[in-house]
Amino acid sequence: MRLSEMKEGQSGLIKNISGNSLLRRRILEMGMTKGSNIYVEKYAPLKDPIELVVKGYHVSLRVEEAAQIEVETIAEGWVPSS
């Protein structure tokens, strides 16, 4: 599943990050590495961007960028520790 397909309140485990090298590097620098837990906090009112919680901090990504991240979903309701 792609990160952009996840709903508010869902959690996942990052499996793969695709896209061009500049986008990949930017995503990796934000701490979104393979194997990291990710939680979809909320979507903006117009559904773009997405607010995520990764490694205890909040990050916003455009839906287009989130579509480059493949995730495996974890049980709903898991909230990362802050």
What's the CATH code of the domain at 66?
Answer: 2.30.30.90
Any domain includes 43: yes
Any domain includes 80: no
Cα–Cα distance for residue pair 26/12, rounded to 1 Å? 20
Instruction: Read off the pTM.
Output: 0.83
Reported as type and span, the H/E element at residue 21 is helix 21-29
Any domain includes 39: yes
Buried b (16+ CB within 10 A) or exposed e, 3-23: bbebeeebbbebeebeeeeee
Any domain includes 16: yes
- Based on C-alpha coordinates, what's the Rg of the chain? 11
Measured in whole angstroms, how far is the alpha carbon of residue 39 from the centre of its chain?
A: 7
Any domain includes 81: no
Any domain includes 82: no
Domain count across the chain: 1
**pLDDT tens column, 20-69:** 889 899 888 888 999 999 999 999 999 899 999 998 899 999 999 999 99
Any domain includes 41: yes
